[in-house]
Amino acid sequence: MSVRRRSVQWMVILQIREGKYKDVEGVVKIEEVDGEELVKKFAEEMEEMLGRKMKSVKVRRLAEAAEDADLYHEYNDTMEFDYYNSMLINTVDEDGNPVPLGGEFPLEENEHFNKLPVNTQQSNIQVPTNVYNRDPDIVNGVFMSEALNDVFIDNFQKDPTLTWQYFGSATGFFRLYPGIQWIPDENGVVTFDARNRNWYIQAATSPKDVVIVVDVSGSMKGLRLTIAKHTINTILDTLGENDFVNIIAYSDYVRYVEPCFKGTLVQADLDNREVTHTHTHKTHTGAAALGQGSLCNQAIMLITDGAMEDFQDVFEEFNWPERRVRVFTYLIGREMTFAENVKWIACNNKGYYTHISTLADVQENVMEYLHVLSRPMVINHDHDIIWTEAYMDSVLFNTQAQSLLLMTSVAMPVFSKKKETLSHGILLGVVGTDVALRELMRLAPRYKLGVHGYAYLITNNGYILSHPDLRPLYKEGKKLKPKPNYNSVDLSEVEWEDTEERLRTAMVKGETGTLSLDVRTSVDKGRRAMFLKNDYFYTILNETPFSLGIVLTRGYGQYIFTGNVSVEEGLHDLLAPDLTIASEWTYCETDIDPAHRKLSQLQAVVRYLTGKEPDLECDMQLLQQTLFDAVVTAPMEAYWTALMLNTSGMEDGVETAFLGTRSGLMRFHLFLSLPRSFLTSTDKENMFTLDHFPVWYRRAAEYPAGQFLYYMPRQDTRGIGDAFTEQTHTHTWTQKTFFVLFLYPIFSAIFSRLNQISLNDRFISLRATLCAFVCVGVYFLRVSLFDYQAMCKMNSHSVSSARPLLSLSSSPPSPASLSVTNKMSLLHCYTPSFIFQTSRHDPYLSLLASAHKKKGDILQPCDTEYPSFVYEPSVKETNSIIKCGRCQKMFVVQQIPESNLLMLVIQADCDCSRQYGPITMEPKECDRMRSQKIRRRPESCHAYHPQENANDCGGASFISLSASLFFICLSFSALVS
């Protein structure tokens, strides 16, 4: 292929486009983007949207409806009531009759719920397998909560953008609207318990500091120790990111179960809970002060099979008379000799005593402590609204409803209003609704942020709620699974260039401001690096624990180009068969009216502009840009068609040409009848998505205008032996940029041409290789990139307790270590921007893929550092010699003009493969636990109420334990108060 001939063809294309541009030049303008104003506008729109969700659960909606229903309901312990059990609906017995609690429950696929079969006229009930679905408490609660159906439906009619609405009962059932068919796991078991979900726990209790004290003396072994471990893990599952925890084991001496957590309360996020879970399993039979925590509820959980020493004086000195630290006791095993002692400590410290004799007893008994902690809030009738961190519903995940995976929940507690129960503070449950984060982020449209720009949200704890670099799933075999720490990814783990954490600190504190950073970022799923100058703008979302940030990149991100054409002219060109627009962007809001939900964005735009759907809410600024881009790029269709018909004007083997603009518009032309993966959802890296511009668009934006950019798509083999590449050309008018690409089986074409070249005698025995490290020192700049969301393959017997930092060798391998083994003489061209890999997979996926993992290997979160090599264009040609033991080989590198391609030719008769060993990666333990980051505590706290009736504590008597142990546990209250 002739580069010069190709350049002439591009000039023809650009002349056609420039001619069309000049026709509309008088009605275009360039505006500088005001980042401070933009982030405030986005925040206001998000606050308005989230406000609508809060109204659906606030008093006079779900919460009050549930409380009124309970107030007028008279409990009947013999009540019989048939309800729709989500596990049993539409199920019949062997005679064809509906099974009990089943019955006909119509389900219909709904576009708003990602085509899930739902019933928008009725909610239904889910009950965990370990809860008896005919229990009187369940039946009475289900009957009482039937009153919520009308409120669910009314809320959805008033706000059609609502997703799931629900009521989680303190007795264990879960009412969900719209009703669905609940899918059990592969064993036919439903483990989902609403009372374990973070939205329930956060709404039911104020933030809490919990010290779990477990007896590991000689009598605690066998089944008792197993029950104790399960009890600890169940308690941990009731904690969230606003809570703090530590675990202490005792026998003849006291020790911390997790050594990395010695002497401190740690945030109970998924990361730290996972570490604690791991070490709990390592607990076997066999004093330090605690640091600050939530500064709200404080509790000690004592797990033991009995005690013998008197302990009253310790409580008198450190906890009475206010009893600010509650003590909950769990007596393990069937032995009841010391039951009265264990009861006494709970009842005299405003806690609760439970007896756990089997594994089946654990779940319900642990839940009792939540009801006790909720008493002050219930007595005061404080209906605090809470918002959760990013939340993934495992049941919905199993339905493959990927677009609904990440949500935030807004929830509110529901209390008993009956006067006789006031001092007991009876919690009925929690009502809530989910907000799909994708829908929230649509309010910060991509086209306003530019090529590399984006918006993101974080919580008061600094954790990512939404960010284009958040990767919540990993691949295990052929299955996608949620990462164990997917919703405790810190802002500093994605914006890792902010080494001083100035951005994170300001946003966590709820400040409004701006910050500039020079950043290294990667595209193409970590394969390629870019250097950008980013401006960050941030502000708080009022009435939520969230902060919003936007990023504008210097250059194309600083300006927005607008043009005005008539609707008639724009519509004509918008209806061209070679044109699409970004399906994930919101040109027109199709989710408000159910009749619009089956429309694609292009269909909605056309129907709105033609007056067929005047009630559609559309983004007029985006529509105006799209129409303008359609008009200006319209000549491309005719040009591409002419090229296809004129065989002398086009090189053989051209497959596809395509073009993209900032408005999300794409034009494409197929020269061959072959499927193109970049035009389908299977390769979103090459599409305009909610999170990013296409990878070819982003890379071209940083490449010099007028030059050609080549790169290998991720699916780099099509058919037999053909390697494809994409060729990108940037053309700029002031700040308006179009990207035009051709796709070729270009390597085959180039190689066939190069094989015809008559090489001189000096290089007749040379051959090429893709091993680009031969010219690292000449053509490439080595930089480090970091991935703090990786999943690493660890052998099961050597898994570390913390997320290890995996680090490659500090220096790149010698060029000689990358041998040439192919005995055929070939010439290769390659694109000189890549990430070094320790395997044949890329650095992200090689750590995620486990289809061929060895028995005993598991994947766990890890932090990785990997080198990237970026092209240095100043050197046009070089040659040198590589020494490989007793032999040496010559190489020549030459830049191909007007492109990012290099040609590398290497001598064939010298093998370096045995001289250099593989690169190894060594884990570093406890790296994640070095410090506790700045966080913003929730504003409300309900830890004490003078009218609380603490007599309901499971019993009353006397206790005896080690005084030194309880001194350690109680002393933290003085430190954190």
- If DSSP states are collapsed to H, E and C, what string results for 528-555? EEEEEEEEEEEEECCCCCCEEEEEEECC
Q: At what angle do helices 62-71 and 136-144 cross, to 10 degrees?
A: 120
922, two tokens: 């060594």
Q: Which residues pair with 125 in a beta bridge?
A: 85, 175
Please write the tens of the pLDDT for every residue from 785-829. Answer: 888 888 887 654 443 333 433 333 233 333 333 222 222 222 333
DSSP assigned state of 759: -
Rounded Cα–Cα distance for residues 484 and 472 (Å): 9
- The per-residue pLDDT for 341 is 86
Rounded Cα–Cα distance for residues 970 and 160 (Å): 50
Phi, psi at 512, each rounded to 5°: -115, 130
Q: Are strands 805-807 and 473-476 parallel, antiparallel or unpaired?
A: unpaired
Rounded Cα–Cα distance for residues 701 and 678 (Å): 19
Rounded Cα–Cα distance for residues 249 and 256 (Å): 6
Residue for token digits 């925590």?
Answer: 293
Element (H, E) at 65: helix 62-71
DSSP assigned state of 92: B
Rounded Cα–Cα distance for residues 345 and 29 (Å): 75
DSSP 893-962: EEEPTTBS-EEEEEESS---TTTS-----B--TTGGGS-PPP----S------TT-----SS-----B--
Please write the tens of the pLDDT for every residue from 193-206. Answer: 999 888 999 999 99
Residue for token digits 């506008």?
Answer: 41
Spell out the SS3 assignment of 418-435.
Answer: CHHHHHHCCEEEEEEEEE
Q: At what angle do helices 3-23 and 620-633 cross, to 10 degrees?
A: 130
Q: Are strands 665-670 and 579-581 parallel, antiparallel or unpaired?
A: antiparallel
**C-alpha 861: how far from chain center:** 14
737, two tokens: 């940029």
Of 962, 943, 961, 952, whose CA–CA distance to 293 is shortest?
Answer: 943
Q: Residues of the chain whose pLDDT is less than 50?
A: 1-18, 284-291, 716-724, 731-738, 741-777, 796-856, 916-930, 956-962, 974-977
Rounded Cα–Cα distance for residues 470 and 402 (Å): 15
Give Rg (Cα) of the chain. 32
Please write the tens of the pLDDT for every residue from 223-275. Answer: 999 999 999 999 998 998 899 999 999 988 888 887 777 778 888 877 677 66
**C-alpha 633: how far from chain center:** 36
Rounded Cα–Cα distance for residues 474 and 484 (Å): 10
Q: Measure Cα distances from 190 to 97, 130, 345 in Å.
A: 24, 8, 35
Q: CA quadruple 35, 41, 45, 50: dihedral positive or negative?
A: positive
Rounded Cα–Cα distance for residues 688 and 659 (Å): 12
Residue for token digits 């083999």?
Answer: 717
Phi, psi at 741, each rounded to 5°: -130, 150
Q: Measure Cα distances from 951 to 146, 347, 716, 947 in Å.
A: 32, 7, 70, 12
Question: Would you identify the CATH topology of the domain 438-560?
Answer: Beta-Lactamase (3.30.450)
The superfamily (CATH) of domain 57-202+384-436 is: PAS domain (3.30.450.20)
> Rounded to 5 degrees, what angle do the CA atoms 156, 160, 162 make?
70
The 10 Å Cβ neighbour count of residue 766 is 19
The superfamily (CATH) of domain 207-363 is: von Willebrand factor, type A domain (3.40.50.410)
Rounded Cα–Cα distance for residues 580 and 681 (Å): 13
Q: Is 967 buried (19+), middle (13-18) or exposed (0-12) by CB count in 10 A?
A: middle
- Considering only the C-alpha atoms of the chain, give the largest distance between any 2 of them, rounded to a whole number of Å: 103
Rounded Cα–Cα distance for residues 764 and 755 (Å): 12
Domain boundaries, the chain: 57-202+384-436, 207-363, 438-560, 564-676, 740-750+759-788+861-925
Amino acid letter for position 190: V
Rounded Cα–Cα distance for residues 384 and 545 (Å): 13
Residue for token digits 């070089």?
Answer: 878
The 10 Å Cβ neighbour count of residue 198 is 22
- Read off the pTM: 0.83
The reply to whether domains 57-202+384-436 and 438-560 share a CATH topology is yes
Rounded Cα–Cα distance for residues 905 and 765 (Å): 10
Rounded Cα–Cα distance for residues 685 and 160 (Å): 31
Q: Are strands 297-304 and 208-215 parallel, antiparallel or unpaired?
A: parallel
